[in-house]
Structure 1
Amino acid sequence: MFSLPEVRGKYSVGATTFAIPITAYGDASRVIGRARLKPNISGVPDTPALKLEEVVFTAYYPADMQAVKRARKGVYWVPRPVSETLKGYAQFGGMNALLVHGLLGGYARVLKIPVYANVPLLGTQSGKHQWPLVIFSHGLGGTRTTYSHFCARLAAEGRVVLAIEHRDGTGPFVFTHTPIPGLKEQLPSNCKLYIHPEDVTFDKEPTEKEQLAFREEQLLFRRIELYLTYTLFSGMVSTPWDEENMTLDWIHTVSGPWNHSLADRPEDRAFWKSWHKTGSQPRVQYDYDVLLTGHSFGGATVLSVLSNPPPSLEDREFSAIPVRRAVALDPWLEPLPSPGPAPHSVEVSLKEQQPSAEPPALLVLNSEQFSLWTDHFARLRDVVRAWDRVARERAPETRWCERHAWLVTLVRARHTSFSDFGVIVPFGGYAKDGRRFLDIVCELTEAFLKGDDLEDALDRQSQVEWKVETVQGSKKRGEERRLVGEVGDVVVN
């Protein structure tokens, strides 16, 4: 099997992709923002660039291997259909689609993630423990599988990770999945390839200060998607399982198990039952200590969620997500308002229904590539320091001296090092470095989630001081700036 590296951890990992149609009530609009696709992009004049039609996410989770007779290991890394996804990647990178398909089509069709497809969620020991919930937001050109190794590693340690497939034009290719399980049709007319900012127009053109207007609308769209994902998933896992009267027509999976005729499909019934409440409490801990994480534009999405009140739709209000910790991987700050972002005061704890003004703890893991982006890194450093200061001010007296925000740079890491791209090719120095970077990212994230273990985990790393040197690069690039250090070193800023 052409596969990404095996996932290490305490548990076998399952993966299932869920899809939930978003229905508007009355005259409520699902169009977000003012951006319209240019006619040469959509083929239809005045087509909204951002419209909520469906929420899709891949769940990575501890798998119950005893609940199925034959578990199928391997989930396709490139979302289907491959040809359209590769066309979207070509559009994202400004390349010829036929060339991309010719070079990558064969490998893209067979590459798999080493997790078990569509197996039930593992029950927790004695029903007292719950699986913590993680929500992941991808970056530009990303998908719900682009960061599968990171997501699966978190799941292997005992977490349920929801990797959102954003429909804001930042994915290579998305389409609305039919709500009728098992029905195969031609692709719907509302398929969406990657959208560049220059592919949209506004009824009133943005000023120079508003050149990032489309990115700002995409951020709002992403926040709404994240809140919908959390709200709808929480609704499923908190609903008691009713063997006789269970209604699942509001949610379905992209590739099975199906949600109909469950009396005749015992394995499908076992799958859906595993996601619902069957004891005194749900299997997934959704009502407190939620982790938000994301890469690049996904990191900006995380910071945008944490620095704004819950969004709303014309016919729907959202409650605050009880986030206690957040991990931003190489966050891209340009679309975010400046100064800031700063932590928004969470008004209500969903668990205790009491005020909770203490901001979530924040871990920012940065690549050397983004850290050498001087202006951007200076702003990021200010954001992290301000976040830590505000968190200390709002923390209880017993915790005022604790650190609440960290910024760590991975020496020699590139912007793509947080994704699977560094380990797709299973041989050579690039793959070796890619595995090393992901090991560090996963180790530090896991320690951060455990609370007091991050400082110890940082002490175990090879730490170097921040020092920039100039070296001779290739003839084409000439002299290059880089950090003093080697692959595997970290700088605690």
Structure 2
Amino acid sequence: MTSWFSKLNPTPSFPPYTGPYKVGSTHVEIPVAELESPATSPAPKPDLSTVAFRVFYPCQQDSQQRGVRWIPSPQREYVGAYARFLGANNAFAHIFSVVPQLLYYISIPVHHNAEILEPTTNSKRWPVMFFSHGLGGSRNAYSHICGSLASHGIVVVAPDHRDGSAPISFVRTPGAPQKLKKVDYLRVPHQASTEVYEARDEQLRIRLWELGLIHDALLKIDTRVALSNIAEDQAHHNMLVQFSNKLDIHTPGSIAWTGHSFGAATMIQFTKSIFYRQDSTTPSTYRPLYVPSPNTPLTQQITSTSPLTLLDLWALPLQSPSTTWLKSQPMPCYTPGGPGGSTLLSILSEAFYKWSTNLQQTLSILSAPQKSDSSVLGAHIFYPTSSAHLSQSDFGTLFPWVTTKVFGVKEPQRVMKLNVRAILQLLRDAGVEVADTSAADMEVDGLGGEKTGVDKILLTTEGHAIRDWISLRSDDLKDVANGGKVEGGPLEAAVETEVLGEVARDKGSL
């Protein structure tokens, strides 16, 4: 009977996570004054008195706490901001403007403030991943991919970037947490120009500064240093203490770094800024966006073995003249003696695969140095067919009828599962302990949902081993890398609805 009524419920909902663990989640907002920035560079211009992030984690199997509202509080402000961000011609704007009440009740299927599960890994610590959102995103906008990874035994930290990339965000005031400072969306053109590069550089400065502070926060949390959590729903909870001595964040190279679109560009800039930190040998033309102090835990954390996953990398922010030298440096994994591209995963949507300019820039960024030994492995690069930019965010999962009708996406939930499977296998190959992928997710006939172990077939480059999952080998991309044109990509000047997908004005509306 409950199942029958759920089918009548018009409120969009998420499918259940498929890993073996239940998922807990908590919202964290910590005053900057209680943290130590690993950077020698000054704080960015905006007066940001806190850093905020959501944590997804494996929780006790008997957890019964309620879920988390997908639209954060204050909900009316967020819904209005999304409607403005999308614009009247976008397919999703119809949903946000006509049925906002339904959006208020969308719930992330996690257990709010649940007790963390004791780690089942050999190290007795859970592996940790940072996940950086793109334009139009937030700490909640990628909850399904973050929660899916957490259900396989990963603590996923999703920052709320206050750089003007979210439709709206709020900064609480330490000492007066009910007082909110609003950060509105910053509209920046998507065509390259000096002004555009300067604006994106400033946003990246904020993002990298936030990531450094959040890393420091995790170190303090794990070592049981008392921190104030002034997030709205944490006034009477002390959730941070339970994470002490349970996070695998001290071993160099142990943290995984993941991002979508602008978030993927953020993770490249962050890891390379630390790995190739400025010293006396760097050219004077290089104006770094982030300069970490030497011998800090963060500089020791980023190594050639650090796992890095890039979902629909948006390459324009990495083309800034200020950071040309950094862009010219190979990805850290290609350092002599490093693992090569075995720890580097790029998953494109078909839409971004067909965007020739961005694809050429992506290949240039991810390629092994030309002088590399022929035995050096290149990056894992894949795309699911009939997928859109929004397929890697919650919007593709929550609103499948929109993604199918407007963007031509087929099997949106399966596309999300393919992304999760690939990330999990990248981590396994990097020596990270994560739970098995189920036979159901691996689409193994006749085995039901029993465990099957590793999922190596997903990262193979031998033909197209998985249905609608295309491996991009260097031979496949030769023409594109040499400047060949690929037709049918999204408008290069219209990445405005990044997280939500391509603009719909050329495809009709609902």
Q: TM-score, normalised by structure 2?
A: 0.69
Which amino acid in the other structure matches residue 408 of structure 1?
Answer: F
Please show how residues 425-436 of structure 1 align to structure 2 within 5 Å: 425=399, 430=404, 433-436=411-414
Partner of 1:287: 251
Please show how residues 195-344 of structure 1 align to structure 2 within 5 Å: 195-197=186-188, 208-239=193-224, 248-256=226-234, 258-259=236-237, 268=238, 271-277=239-245, 282-288=246-252, 289-309=254-274, 311-312=290-291, 319-320=298-299, 321-322=301-302, 324-337=306-319, 340=327, 342-343=329-330
Match of 2:147, SS? Answer: helix
Please show how residues 398-413 of structure 1 align to structure 2 within 5 Å: 401=375, 403-413=377-387
Q: Is 1:121 matched up with 2:116? A: yes
What percentage of residue pairs aligned between the two structures are identical? 26
Alpha-carbon shift at residue 86 of structure 1 (Å): 1.9
Q: Any conservation in 2 of the 1:252–1:258 contact (CA below 8 Å)?
A: no
> Following the alignment from structure 1 to structure 2, what is the Cα–Cα distance between the partners of residues 19 and 210?
32
Change (3 A) 1:359 1:428: closer
> Following the alignment from structure 2 to structure 1, what is the Cα–Cα distance between the partners of residues 95 and 400?
20
The correspondence for 1:440, drawn from 418, 439, 449, is: 418
Partner of 2:87: 94
> Following the alignment from structure 1 to structure 2, what is the Cα–Cα distance between the partners of residues 77 and 438?
18
Match of 1:383, SS? Answer: helix
Partner of 1:62: 58
Q: Any conservation in 1 of the 2:386–2:410 contact (CA below 8 Å)?
A: no
Which amino acid in the other structure matches residue 334 of structure 1?
Answer: L
> Following the alignment from structure 1 to structure 2, what is the Cα–Cα distance between the partners of residues 307 and 29?
16
Partner of 1:471: none
Which amino acid in the other structure matches residue 136 of structure 2?
Answer: G
> Following the alignment from structure 1 to structure 2, what is the Cα–Cα distance between the partners of residues 214 and 411?
33
Question: How many residue pairs were aligned?
Answer: 404
> Following the alignment from structure 1 to structure 2, what is the Cα–Cα distance between the partners of residues 224 and 359?
28
Partner of 2:185: 194
Match of 1:175, SS? Answer: strand
Q: Any conservation in 1 of the 2:126–2:153 contact (CA below 8 Å)?
A: yes
Partner of 1:379: 361
1:30-63 deviation line (CA, Å, top 9, x unaligned): 652xxxxxxxxxxxxxxx5x33321100000001
Q: Any conservation in 2 of the 1:74–1:115 contact (CA below 8 Å)?
A: yes
Alpha-carbon shift at residue 409 of structure 1 (Å): 2.0
Partner of 1:140: 135
> Following the alignment from structure 2 to structure 1, what is the Cα–Cα distance between the partners of residues 412 and 291?
40
Partner of 1:481: 488
The correspondence for 2:15, drawn from 5, 8, 21, is: 5
Alpha-carbon shift at residue 177 of structure 1 (Å): 2.3
- RMSD over aligned CA atoms reads 3.8
Please show how residues 442-481 of structure 1 align to structure 2 within 5 Å: 442-451=420-429, 455-459=456-460, 460-462=465-467, 481=488
Gaps of 5+ in 2: 1-5, 278-289, 431-453, 478-486, 490-510
RCO comparison, higher one (Cα < 8 Å, 6+): 2
Alpha-carbon shift at residue 227 of structure 1 (Å): 1.4
Q: TM-score, normalised by structure 1?
A: 0.72
Q: Is 1:424 matched up with 2:431? A: no
1:431-470 deviation line (CA, Å, top 9, x unaligned): 86210110111111111111076752245412558799xx
Partner of 2:98: 103
Alpha-carbon shift at residue 481 of structure 1 (Å): 3.5
Q: Any conservation in 1 of the 2:128–2:247 contact (CA below 8 Å)?
A: no
> Following the alignment from structure 2 to structure 1, what is the Cα–Cα distance between the partners of residues 140 and 251?
26
Which amino acid in the other structure matches residue 413 of structure 2?
Answer: R
Match of 2:257, SS? Answer: strand
Change (3 A) 1:125 1:444: closer
> Following the alignment from structure 1 to structure 2, what is the Cα–Cα distance between the partners of residues 481 and 457?
27
Which amino acid in the other structure matches residue 7 of structure 1?
Answer: Y
Q: Any conservation in 1 of the 2:384–2:470 contact (CA below 8 Å)?
A: no
Match of 1:19, SS? Answer: strand
Match of 1:274, SS? Answer: helix
Partner of 1:473: none
> Following the alignment from structure 2 to structure 1, what is the Cα–Cα distance between the partners of residues 198 and 29?
29
Alpha-carbon shift at residue 375 of structure 1 (Å): 1.6
Match of 1:408, SS? Answer: strand
Q: Any conservation in 2 of the 1:307–1:341 contact (CA below 8 Å)?
A: no
Gaps of 5+ in 1: 33-47, 199-206, 240-246, 260-267, 347-354, 394-399, 469-479, 483-493
> Following the alignment from structure 2 to structure 1, what is the Cα–Cα distance between the partners of residues 331 and 132?
19
Match of 1:176, SS? Answer: strand
1:180-227 deviation line (CA, Å, top 9, x unaligned): 6xx873x52x211211137xxxxxxxx944432101111121111111
Q: Any conservation in 2 of the 1:86–1:172 contact (CA below 8 Å)?
A: no
> Following the alignment from structure 1 to structure 2, what is the Cα–Cα distance between the partners of residues 140 and 428?
20
Partner of 2:280: none
> Following the alignment from structure 1 to structure 2, what is the Cα–Cα distance between the partners of residues 412 and 31?
42
Change (3 A) 1:411 1:234: same
Q: Is 1:79 matched up with 2:82? A: no
Q: Any conservation in 2 of the 1:89–1:194 contact (CA below 8 Å)?
A: no
Alpha-carbon shift at residue 174 of structure 1 (Å): 1.2
Alpha-carbon shift at residue 256 of structure 1 (Å): 2.4
